[in-house]
Structures are given as structure tokens and as C-alpha cells.
Amino acid sequence: MRSRSLGFIFIAAVIVPSILLAVLSIRSAGREEAWMEKQMAATLDAEVTHAAGLAGAEVGRVIDDLRAALDVPPGGDYGRILSRWKSSTALVAVPFMLSPRYGILWPPSDTRADDEQRRFLRENGTFLSDRAATTVFQNIAVRYQDEILAETSRAQNIAAAPQAQGESAPATTDTEVTAPPAQAESAPAPSTVPERRAASEAQAGAAGAPSARQMAIDAFAQSPGIQTRVYEEAREKGDQLNARVVEPMAKDRSAAGADKSLPAAALRDEAAKPAPALKALKKSAVPAKEQPSQFVLTSRLLSQIASQGDSGLIPRFIGEKLVFLFWERQKDGRIAGCEIAASAFRGRIAGVLTSTWSPVRILTLLDENGEPLATPPDAAGRDWRRPFVSREIGESLPRWEAAAYLTRPDSISAQARSSSLVIWIMVMILFVSVAGGGTMVLSSVYGELRLAQQKATFVTNVSHELKTPLTSISLFVDLLRRKGSLPRSKKEQYLSLMASETERLTRLINNVLDFSRDNGARRYTMRTVDASLVSGQIVESQRVRLESRGFSLSFERAALDSLVRADPEALKQVLLNLLSNAEKYSTEKKEIAVTIARTPASVVITVRDRGIGIPEKDRERVFREFYRVDDSLSSGVQGTGLGLTIARRIARDHGGDITCAPRDGGGTDFMVCLPAMDEGEAPA
């Protein structure tokens, strides 16, 4: 019962906490890669955002450079002026001039046009003449600017309501924008969405605050809830989202607000920034399901685009090819512009990157086909459509992305595996230490309990063992005193039995004394002895006592040479202990045989009995101190549990050993193996 209680305490105090600790550590190891990926994504996202901002700013500088070099006075020679403009900058591929009513003044449509101009008119003539619309991109936050600002205002009003009630201030409706105190009396609060937007932009311009457009972009970028609702509304209204050319590996990274860093020059034509043809998008793009585009597709005529500003950049998809048209309205209403040279333009945009490669990441810009504008080192075999993180650049560069890749794609997994391995090793060491230490403590406690119980049994058995021979000796002494003159044979028999019991008592005392000594404390007088002679002497000394108790005792010498190096008295004690053990555990068949045999290296003394036998699981345990075979087998047999322990200790001190094995027909064989003497060495 006490052992079971200790087992429950051990499980509750050691095993269960160890398992819980292991489970928590394993879960932590499982999340290591996700945490490292999140940290790396946050770092690279900042670089990607900066690169996208630099690319957007460079678009603005390209527009400024083209405007600075363009001067078309009224009534001039368009061919000569535009040719001079083309030769002044590598950015101009095919210049054009439109009338205020979108008539094409240049290039000519007659035989004066070269092949490049005819190709240009064939691809762009209907659009430039305002007879066909082109597909443009529009930031979804700008498209739903009014809805985003209304929801932001409503949320602010709800948040401010408790404070307003506490100060007894007049409440505002969720469709109003509260005016500053100075304006509250002179101007009514705007009540419609366009009025609110106009008032907001006017106030922002006066106070230097962000514009309504920028406020909508910021609110969209900062609120996942607003993003979800805006995308849902876009789907309900049938708006077509841009299909991105990449699918970032690091998920859940918001792409909103990418164009916040674009300069004002690049944003003057906000609503006029074109997009690719829908069919081309579906054919070549790989949608990033976890990161939907922040741009929606709309269609507009050139006149609609030009009504939004004085100049700008119009990207157009001609089949699979993306071309960029620059335009600027002249003072008299004419529109001058050009198709931008693709190689020069791409070179300008790619030049914003100062470092594309590092030991950790590869940073580049991707074009509309998902190909890098600047090819970094170590690019062979890399899937450019699968960046680690990416961000759309802006409305002026449709389907272009700033993207970052891990220099070693498996670096995070490798680091996570290394960290997980360290955690696993620490967990296993901790678990083994705790469980092993607890097991050792529990085993020690169990051992101490068993030892205490065995010692208690030992004291009882020793008391019984000491009393038994003393009782016999006292009985025979009393008989000799009372009977007076007894036949000589009787006296010799009594004296012989008294001597046998005395030897038994001496052997018991010697066993206790031997056990009480340290293992190396006993001193042996080693000499060459004949094991057969010593064994025969012991057998004959015990014959009378054993035969008087009904035993048949035999001795067989099967070897002529049985010399060993041993202490004769110690060897006698071994044999006496084995005979005593055979005597105790023999029940019905009281038969003991002692044999001497010789092997090439050892002399084997075998004590054979017909006792209760020893189960296989106990054949080593019987040599432990205080150990007794199962009570069901040894019931009623008294003993100290030290005889076999001391016998084996003596045998091993002599360089040999004692083992046991089952005997054919029942019983047990105890074999004492001692090193044999070398040939030619005589006994001392």
C-alpha cells in the first residue's frame, strides 16, 4: 500500500509536470518557424515599401524631365519641334501632338509617316482621338474614399460620444463633420458626402493636414476591418480587381497604402492611371489569393483622363506589351506627348535600387510579366513569381511590384529546424533529468523500504537461527546430565550432534560477521589446496547430521586434478553455506550430491539438491543480501538470506563465481567455479 502511494506521488509530482513541460516546449518549437517568418517578413516589407516608394518617385521625376524638355509654341513646325524634343532625351520614342478637340496633329497619317509612327497610330490612334477608352487602374481606397471617410467619421463619433455626453456638448450626427468653433456660427455643417469631402480637403489645405485621399488610403491600410468591408463592397458592385503577377510566400501582409510615398508630381493624374486589358491579365497573371490587389480596373476616355490634371503618364497594354504614354496640356488647350522608350524608362526605374543582393535577401523590381528589371546575382533557377514579400508599386506602373526574396530560400526553415532541435534537445535533457532523477529517488525510496523490511526479517530469522542450535545443544547437555551413565554409542551420538550444532552456530555467526564487514575487509590466507579433499572433508563432517534428518548425501570426484589457489577455511564456508541452503529448501526428496569436475581453465564444485527449485527470474536475485524466493515457494523455511550472498562474494574474491541452474528431474544445481592451478604447480 505504501509503495502504491509512492507511485502515485511520483506520477503527480514528476511525470505529469514533465509531460506538460515537454508539450509546451514542443508547441513552442512548432511555432518557431512561423515567428521567424513573421519577423523576417516585417523587416523585408519595410525594404520593399521603400523600394516601391523610390520607384514611384522616379516616375514623377521622369514626368518632370519630359515636361522640362517639351516646348511646342503655337503655329510651329510640329515635326521639327517634336523631333528636336526626341533627340534631346532618350525617354522619347514616338512624339505626338493633339488638337484641343483631340484631333491628331502629329504624327501624320499620310505617306510622310515612317514605320514606327504608323505602328504607333495603329495601336493608339483611336484612344488619342478620344474614340475609344482604355483600361486604367484606380486605388481601391480612392475609389471608395467617401465610404471609408464616412465609416472613419462614424467610428470617431461613436468613440467621442461618452466624452461629449460628459461635457454636455451638442452631439453630431453620423453624416456630419463637426466644424471648428470659429466656423460653427457662420457656415452650416456640410450634410452630403461631396460637400463633406470638399470641406475636408479645403480645411486640410488650409491647415497643412493630409488630404481626403491620403486620409482614406491611411484608414484603409491601418484597418483590416475596413479592408474586408471595402473588398466585399467591391465584389458586390462587380468591380474587377487587378490580378497580381506574384504570389508572396509570406502571407497576410497587407499591400494597402503602397503608393503613399509617391510624390505629388506622380499623383496629379490619380484617376487617369491606366491598367492592362482584362484578357491579358487573366492570361498571364498569377493571383495572390492571400494578398488581393489594392487596385480596381476601370475604363476611361482620354478626355476624362485629361480633365483630372495638366499632365501625366498613361500606361496601356497593347496585347501582352505594356507601353507608357506621357501627355501634357499646353496653354492653348493642345496636348503634346510621346510614347516613352521602354528600355530607357525601365533603366530609370531599375536605377533606384542601390543594393539588390545581400547574404540575407534579394531585392528587385518586377515588370508586368513578373520578370526582374534588375537581375541580381544568384538568379539562376529562381521563381520570380514567388517572392517572400512583395508590394504593388502604384497606379502609374500597373502590375509592377517591388519584391524581396530570401537569398537562401530554406534559410528560415533551416534556422527554425536548428532552433527546434535545440529546444527538443533541451526538452529531452530536462525530461530525462527530471524523470531520471525522480526515478532514481523513487527507486532509492523503494530500495530503502525493501531493505528495511529485509533487515527486519533478517533480525527475526537470525534470532530463530541462533536459538535453534542453542536449543539443540542445551537439550543434549540436559540429556547427558540426567541420564547419568549412557551407552558409549549414545554419548558419541549426542556429542556428534552437539558438535554439528556448534558448527552450525559458528557458521551462522561467521556469516553475520562476514556480511557486516566491508567487501574488501576480509583477509584470506591463500595457498594451493585440493578442492576434492576440502569438499570431501565438508561432506563427511555434515553426513551424520544430514543423514539423521533423512537426507541421502553422496560425494563424487570426477576429476583427478582439482588443485586451486584458495583459502581453505573460506572454501569450507562456501560449501557449508551451499549444503545448508540445500537442506533448508529440500522438502519431499531429501537428496544432496556433491561432485567435482575439471574444465581446461577451472575446477567446478557442484552441490545438487532435489528441493523446490528456483524460477528463472530469481536465479540471479537469490545471491542478493536478504533476498528470499517468493513466499509461496519458501513458506515455513527460516534463513538469514545471507548464505548465498557470502558464498558468491568469497568465490569472486578467489577469481571465480557461483551460478545456479535447474536440475534434471527437479531441484537446483549450484556450481562453484574456481580458477584451476597451472600444471606442474604442487600444493603447499
The pTM score is: 0.57
pLDDT at 291: 75
pLDDT at 557: 85
Q: What is the pLDDT of residues 133-187, one digit of tens each?
A: 999 999 999 999 999 999 998 888 887 776 555 554 444 333 333 333 333 333 3
- Contact (Cβ atoms closer than 8 angstroms) between residue 315 and residue 274: yes
- Contact (Cβ atoms closer than 8 angstroms) between residue 213 and residue 149: no
Q: Which residues contact 621 (CB under 8 A, 6 or more apart)?
A: 627
The number of residues making up the chain comes to: 684
Residue 469: other Cβ atoms inside 10 A = 19
And the C-alpha cell for 415? 534556422
Rounded-to-integer distance, Cα 272 and Cα 172, Å: 36
Give the residue ranges of DSSP H helices in 371-410. none
pLDDT band of residue 74 (cuts 50, 70, 90) is confident
Question: Which tops the pLDDT comparison, 140 or 6?
Answer: 140
And the C-alpha cell for 7? 507511485
Q: Which residues contact 191 (CB under 8 A, 6 or more apart)?
A: 175, 176
The strand pairing partners of 329, in sequence order, are: 335
Residue 500 in this model has a pLDDT that exceeds 60: yes
pLDDT at 679: 57
CATH architecture of residue range(s) 518-675: 2-Layer Sandwich (3.30)
pLDDT at 603: 94
The H or E element spanning position 540 is helix 531-548
The strand pairing partners of 672, in sequence order, are: 605, 658
Half-sphere exposure of 18 (CA within 13 A, CB side): 20
Q: Of 12-21, 70-79, 181-190, 619-628, which has the strongest mean pLDDT?
A: 70-79
- Residue 557, helix vs strand vs coil: strand
Mean local confidence (pLDDT), 240-244: 89
pLDDT at 135: 92
Residue 281 in this model has a pLDDT that exceeds 60: no
Buried b (16+ CB within 10 A) or exposed e, 321-338: ebbbbbbbbbeeebbbbb
What does DSSP say about strands 668-675 and 657-662: parallel, antiparallel, or unpaired? antiparallel
Burial class (CB in 10 A: 0-12, 13-18, 19+), 65: middle
Q: What is the pLDDT of residues 441-488, one digit of tens each?
A: 777 877 787 777 767 766 766 665 676 678 778 877 887 777 667 787
Burial class (CB in 10 A: 0-12, 13-18, 19+), 624: middle
**Mean pLDDT value across the chain:** 80
Burial class (CB in 10 A: 0-12, 13-18, 19+), 237: exposed
Cis peptide before 107 (omega within 30 of 0): yes
Question: Which tops the pLDDT comparison, 430 or 662?
Answer: 662
pLDDT band of residue 43 (cuts 50, 70, 90) is very high
Mean pLDDT lowest among 83-87, 557-561, 632-636: 632-636
Q: Where in the sequence of the chain do the CATH 3.30.565.10 domains occur? A: 518-675
Rounded-to-integer distance, Cα 349 and Cα 366, Å: 10
Residue 50 in this model has a pLDDT that exceeds 90: yes
pLDDT at 483: 65
pLDDT at 258: 37
Radius of gyration for the chain, computed over Cα atoms and rounded to the nearest angstrom? 53
Mean pLDDT lowest among 96-100, 496-500, 632-636: 632-636
pLDDT at 432: 80
pLDDT band of residue 517 (cuts 50, 70, 90) is low
Burial class (CB in 10 A: 0-12, 13-18, 19+), 518: exposed
- Contact (Cβ atoms closer than 8 angstroms) between residue 680 and residue 659: no
Widest CA span in the chain: 170
pLDDT at 427: 76
* Nearest residue to 36 (alpha-carbon basis) of 402, 423, 425, 428: 423
